[in-house]
Each structure stands twice: as C-alpha cells, then as structure tokens.
Amino acid sequence: MNNKVFYKTVVVLCIIYLAYGLITSACLSFKFVTPNELFIISGIYFFFSLVIIALFIKKAIINPINKKEEECKLELEDISKKSKEISFKLYNDNITNLKNMNALDKDIDDCESVCIALVDILAFDDINELYGFESGNVVLRKVANILKEYALENNLVVYRVHGNTFAVVDVNLNLKFEQYAKEISNILKNNPIYVEDKQAEIYIDVTIGISLCQKEALKTATIALKDAKKKFLKISAYDSELSTKEKIENSNLWREKIKQAIEQDNITPFYQGIVNKNQEIIKYEALIRIKDIKEDGRVEYILPFDFFEIAIKSKQYEQLSKIVFTKALHDVKNKIKDKFVTINLSYKDILNRNFTDFLEKEVKSLDKADRERVVFEILESESISNYENLDIFINYYRKLGIKIAIDDFGSGYSNFEHIIKTKPDYLKIDGSLIKDIHKNNNSYEMVKSIVDFSQALGIKTIAEFVHCKEVFEIVEELGVDEFQGFYFAKPAILN
C-alpha cells in the first residue's frame, strides 16, 4: 500500500469513528434511545461501517492492484508478440518467403553430416539493370518456387542465402545429391521466367557449388562456388585437398607472427568512438590489433580477421585476450577519465576458469567509479550451451558495477527469451542489419522490431556499422540510442 492510499484509509476510519462517537453521545445525552436499543443501533452502524470500509479498500487498493497486474500482463503479451515477430523476421526472407541464412545456420548446426548446393543466378545484376529491381524480385520469387517444388519432390530444403544465391540442403545423405544439382541447373535453364509487367522472357543460368558431408558445409560450399566461377564451370564440388597445403603454410606463418608480437609487446588496443544522438563520443570500444613492423621500417596494424581463427586453434587466443584486457583497463584507470569503455568477451572466455580468475583480479583493481565506466560486450552465439553459467557471470559483475551489452543482436543466434530474463544494459544491433538498412526493407523492419522490443524492456540500443549520413538518419529516426561506425570515427590508437 503506498502512502497516499494509507492516509486515505486513515481519514475514512477517523470519519466513521468520529461520526459514531457523536451519534452515541447525542443519543445518551438526550435519552433518545435506551441502552439496549443503542446496542442494537451500534451493531447495525458497525456492520454498515465495515461494508463502507470494504468498498473503500476495494476501490483504493484492490482495484489499482488488479489494474496494475492487467497492465503488466498486457505488457508481457506485447513483448512476447514482438519477440515472435522479430524471431520470424530473423529466420525468414521477406521477398521469397523461404527460410534465410540465419535459419540455415541454425538448422545445420547439430547435423553431423549435411550436403549443400549453393545455386547462384548468373548475371543477376544485369537483370536488375535492364528490367528494374521489382522485376529482379519477381525472378527471385519464381526461381524460389521452382527450387521449392523440386525440393519437395526430392525431400530437400531450400533457403535464400543472400542476394541472388539459394541453398539446396539435404540432411539425409542421399547419394544422388550431385545428380540433383545437375537437374536443378537444367530445370532452371529450360524454363525461362516470364515477367508480365515487362512482357519479357528471362532465361536463367546458374553456377552451383557443392559440399558433400564436410565439417563446415556452408563454408566449403562457398569455396566450391567460388572455384566454379573462377574456372567458368557450371558445377564444382569441394575437394578438401585443394587448400590443405596452403592452409598449413598460412597457419605456421601466423602462429609465429603472433608469438613474436606477444614477446615484443606489439599487441595493442585500438579504440573506436560510440556517439549519442548529438554525435558526441560517450564510449570507446577496445579492439585488438597487432603492430607489424616491416623490413623498411613501415608500421602497419593487422586486423583480427587475419589472425583470430588461427590464434584460437594455436592456443594463443587466451594470452591475446589477457593482454588487451590489461591494457584497456589500464587506460580506463589512467587515460580515459570521462567516458565508458566496452571490452569484448566470448562465451568461451566466461567458461575458462583461468581467464575469469585473471579477469576478476583485474576488475577489482579498479575503484568503484572506474568499474562503473566499463561495459562487457558479450557475444551470444551458438556455442552457448548453458545460460545459467552466463547469468551467474553477468550477475556477479553487475554487482561490481560493470555494465552488460549483448553484441551482434539480430544475428542468427539471438535468444529473445534470455534477453527478457536478464535485461542487459545495451543491445548492440548486428552490423549486417545496419549497413544496408537504407537499401534493404527487410533489414529496416528487423531493426525497427528490435528497437521496439528493447524500448518495451527499457534496454538501450546501439547501431554499429553506421557508414553514411543516410544510414545514421534512418536508425536515429527508428529510435536507436547510440551509434558506432566509420561515419563518426575509425578505430585508432588512443592519443
């Protein structure tokens, strides 16, 4: 019961008892009634007093509680509805109504062996240029229908991966899969697509890359597709021996380069500004770079894209992460005095006891005011097998003052139910949705849904990959709170 309701209740009770006292005194003083009659009247009076109090309590206390509960129920239903809408948009292509790339990643994640054929429409840019984008969409829809019909007949599944590329997937390990690819190519070639608005027949030719029972099916199918295009082949199947020697040489080179960078203290954090709606920098994201000194004395900084995967395989990743954390937290304490600093963490980091012991020690070396300016940016990925461990980690560091951001939200592994439960301080919207939001209506609708979802939960949103004024204006209009990208600032060494 709040103070206002409490005082109202006291006032009502005082009025009732004051009235009772006055009536009783008057009756006794002027002998209007006998004591026995007064006793009966008092009983009736108290009965009606209790009725009045009960009605008052219902109106002043119970009704507002019921109303609040109903409002909460409606809010939860609204959040649930938005969550379902976002989930649908996340896994479905809005042009062809096929499942999309995110759905493909999710569907094949637990498959031990899978066959994938990537079907790429040749010269699709020419179709868009000659007949217009809407006609291009008509072509995509009709190709999707042809592939879907063929897939149903042969127990396959079709996805639109991106642009003019489709994936035909078989998880049943059918030995006829390469034959399927040839049949798909012939069906599309022999069935021109008629675009009614342009009164034109468009002949479709495709290039197909196949991966048969490989560990990284989508990646190897992509390599096969590139190989087919490079060699002007209709169909190419991935051969693991094609790139094995090159991979070994490359791994050895980077392993040694990382080792030298650690020994020579050439691991350095770059910082990229994150701005508010007034385009004022309010945060910096710490990003790892390797300082590479060339033979002629030139200095270059190597992006993690070149070495990150090899660092994980060669067991050098933990050491790199510790160096970046140590240097970033040192900068929080000594150089970046008035802004937040976000630092990236993976689920593997959180499960690594050796790393979390190190992290706890480093964080506790900061005073409370500095800790409250640190944001842990956690990537939710398919590797998260137990959200309980993640929740324990988040709750522990929140108590120390650390803010929590979920990175790449809107990618294929976003867990909406977990977001509702943990309510992080920030959701960082996946850059793949932001970078082409001015051209892609599906991206626009997806980001709009994420912003609505976040606002309903009181979570701030950050848009990354903002690379031009047009993109900035769109995401700002949608209600995004903070922004990051080359339009504002490139990653750089802290001055």
Rounded distance between C-alpha atoms, residue 283 and residue 302, angstroms: 23
Residue 178: per-residue pLDDT: 79
Name the more confident of 201 and 81.
201
Q: Is the pLDDT of residue 385 over 70?
A: no
Cα within 13 Å of Cα(17), Cβ side = 6
Residue 34: per-residue pLDDT: 64
132-146, 235-249, 385-399, 402-416: segment of lowest average pLDDT:
235-249
Top mean-pLDDT range of 172-181, 349-358, 366-375, 401-410: 366-375
CB atoms inside a 10 Å sphere around CB 275? 20
Q: Can you spell out the DSSP letters for 58-110?
A: IIIIIHHHHHHHHHHHHHHHHHHHHHHHHHHHHHB-TTT-SEEHHHHHHHHTT
Q: How many helices (DSSP H) and strands (DSSP E) are in the chain?
A: 19, 17
156-165 average pLDDT score: 92
Quick check: 266 and 292 in contact, CB under 8 A?
A: yes
CATH of segment(s) 248-484? 3.20.20.450
Residues 6 or more apart whose Cβ sits within 8 Å of residue 145: none
Name the more confident of 295 and 82.
295
164-186 average pLDDT score: 83
Name the more confident of 464 and 91.
464
Q: Is the pLDDT of residue 147 over 80?
A: yes
14-23, 80-89, 320-329: segment of lowest average pLDDT:
14-23
Name the more confident of 324 and 57.
324
Q: Is the pLDDT of residue 247 over 80?
A: no
Contacts by 305-312, CB closer than 8 A, 24 or more apart: 306/254, 307/254, 307/257, 307/258, 310/250, 310/251, 310/254, 310/255, 310/258, 311/254, 311/258
424: region left, alpha or beta (phi > 0 left; psi from -120 to 50 alpha):
beta
77-81, 216-220, 235-239, 271-275: segment of lowest average pLDDT:
77-81
Q: Which of 345, 429, 405, 379 is nearest to 90 (CA)?
A: 429
Residue 439: per-residue pLDDT: 87
Quick check: 150 and 187 in contact, CB under 8 A?
A: yes
Domain residue limits, the chain? 3-88, 99-242, 248-484
Residue 263: per-residue pLDDT: 94
> Residue 9 burial (CB < 10 Å; 0-12/13-18/19+)?
middle
218-247 average pLDDT score: 80
Quick check: 108 and 217 in contact, CB under 8 A?
A: yes
3-state secondary structure of 404: strand
Rounded distance between C-alpha atoms, residue 212 and residue 223, angstroms: 12
Quick check: 387 and 415 in contact, CB under 8 A?
A: yes
65-69, 81-85, 307-311, 449-453: segment of lowest average pLDDT:
65-69
pLDDT digits (tens, 9 = 90+) for 409-448: 876 556 777 888 888 999 999 898 999 899 888 889 889 9
pLDDT digits (tens, 9 = 90+) for 4-45: 655 666 666 666 666 666 666 666 565 555 666 656 666 666
CATH of segment(s) 99-242? 3.30.70.270
Tokens at 120, concatenated: 């790429």
111-115, 133-137, 164-168, 285-289: segment of lowest average pLDDT:
111-115
Residue 332: per-residue pLDDT: 96
Rounded distance between C-alpha atoms, residue 189 and residue 187, angstroms: 5
pTM: 0.64
47-51, 183-187, 461-465, 474-478: segment of lowest average pLDDT:
47-51
Residue 285: per-residue pLDDT: 97
Name the more confident of 7 and 256.
256
Rounded to 5°, the CA angle 411-417-420 comes to 105
